[in-house]
């Protein structure tokens, strides 16, 4: 019936797997939970190996770090069932009906997207504030908010896809590091005419990164976006790409790139502050994209 697929990197999985096992058994459907560790530190591997004792759980450790796209492609190829539920390892189940909600909407030709939430309270650690604020402002949305833009709002943290569709499209393994593999997969679904059904069935993101780590991942994502632009793999569903096209059309890309370099230190100081400004974060991303596409 359903394969639950979770790439694992430096995160303890006991709580999430426990919740999923309980829901899967209560649903009385054939299932498996596949956990593939993609180069975690030894302390996390040791803790997660205990999950091997649980019925229905398959835990494997990769010989080397495959990367975000390749590890998910590997999970899909190895999956036993025809419906694949992908989720990020740094997630928590919010609803006792999480799995049931997906099972009631399975379709052989549709992708289901459940969404994401964050803690309503800001983190006490100031270093986590930027990531939390971006998540709350840019990633949390209801199904009704996502439905008008089904491909633009697609995220890989929590979705169900028929195995045949995923194996046909797959995630692009040319993208290195973090970011925009979900952008490209959503666009490939659009090009292939695959429907996305958005649901209010979120997972909570609990693995907040520090400001420095989040900005590092952001830069990796911008580098991947530049690769997609250079290879004509994106369209104007990508907001940052739309901004770039406007500047290029108006002949302002060089001026704005120069302006960003003059303001970069000030922008970084703001993003590390107790009250980061999201417009400054957008400025940060645009500046880095312009540098890659000069």
Report whether pLDDT(179) > 80. Answer: no
Domain with CATH 3.90.550.10 in the chain: 2-206
Tell me the pLDDT band of 86, cut-offs 50, 70 and 90. very high
Report whether pLDDT(237) > 80. Answer: no
Report whether pLDDT(177) > 80. Answer: no
Tell me the pLDDT band of 75, cut-offs 50, 70 and 90. very high
pLDDT tens track for 4-58: 999 999 999 999 999 999 999 999 999 999 999 999 999 999 999 999 999 999 9
How do strand 158-162 and strand 110-113 relate by DSSP bridges? antiparallel
CATH C-level class of 2-206: alpha beta
244 in Cβ contact with 290 (< 8 Å): yes
Instruction: State the pLDDT at residue 20.
Output: 97
Kindly state the average pLDDT of the residues 262-291. 93
Q: Is the pTM of this model over 0.85?
A: yes
Main-chain dihedrals φ then ψ at residue 80, nearest 5 degrees: -90, -30
**Lateral strand order in the sheet of 203-205:** 91-93, 203-205, 116-117
Report whether pLDDT(220) > 80. Answer: yes
Instruction: State the pLDDT at residue 80.
Output: 96
More confident residue, 267 or 235: 267
Q: What's the CA angle centered on 128, arms 125 and 129, to 5 degrees?
A: 95
Rounded to the nearest 10 degrees, the angle between the axes of helix 239-249 and helix 278-292 is: 60
Tell me the pLDDT band of 77, cut-offs 50, 70 and 90. very high
pLDDT tens track for 110-161: 999 999 999 999 999 999 999 999 999 999 999 999 999 999 889 889 999 9
Report whether pLDDT(106) > 80. Answer: yes
Instruction: State the pLDDT at residue 234.
Output: 82
Report whether pLDDT(232) > 80. Answer: yes
């Amino acid at each position: 019936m359903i394969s639950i697929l979770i790439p694992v990197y430096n995160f303890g999985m006991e709580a999430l797997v426990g919740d999923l096992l309980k829901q899967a058994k209560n649903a009385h459907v054939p299932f498996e939970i596949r956990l593939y560790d993609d180069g975690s530190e030894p302390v996390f591997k040791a803790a997660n190996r205990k999950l091997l004792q649980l019925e229905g759980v398959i835990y494997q450790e990769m010989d080397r770090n495959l990367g975000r796209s390749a590890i998910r492609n590997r999970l899909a190829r190895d999956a036993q069932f025809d419906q694949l539920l992908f989720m990020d390892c740094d997630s928590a189940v919010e609803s006792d009906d999480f799995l049931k909600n997906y099972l009631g909407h399975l379709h052989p030709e549709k992708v289901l997207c459940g969404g994401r939430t964050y803690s309503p309270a800001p983190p006490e650690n100031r270093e986590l504030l930027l990531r939390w604020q971006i998540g709350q402002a840019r990633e949390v949305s209801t199904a009704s908010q996502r439905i008008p833009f089904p491909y633009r709002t697609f995220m890989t943290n929590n979705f169900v896809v028929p195995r045949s569709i995923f194996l046909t499209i797959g995630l692009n393994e040319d993208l290195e590091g973090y970011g925009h593999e979900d952008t490209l997969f959503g666009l490939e679904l659009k090009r292939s005419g695959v429907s996305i059904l958005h649901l209010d069935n979120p997972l909570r993101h609990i693995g907040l990164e520090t400001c420095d780590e989040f900005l590092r991942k952001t830069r990796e994502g911008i580098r991947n976006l530049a690769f997609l632009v250079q290879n004509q793999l994106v369209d104007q569903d990508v907001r940052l790409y739309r901004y770039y096209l406007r500047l290029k059309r108006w002949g302002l890309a060089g001026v704005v790139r120069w302006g960003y370099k003059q303001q970069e230190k000030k922008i970084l100081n703001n993003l590390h502050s107790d009250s980061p400004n999201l417009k400054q974060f957008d400025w940060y991303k645009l500046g880095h994209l312009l540098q890659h596409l000069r």
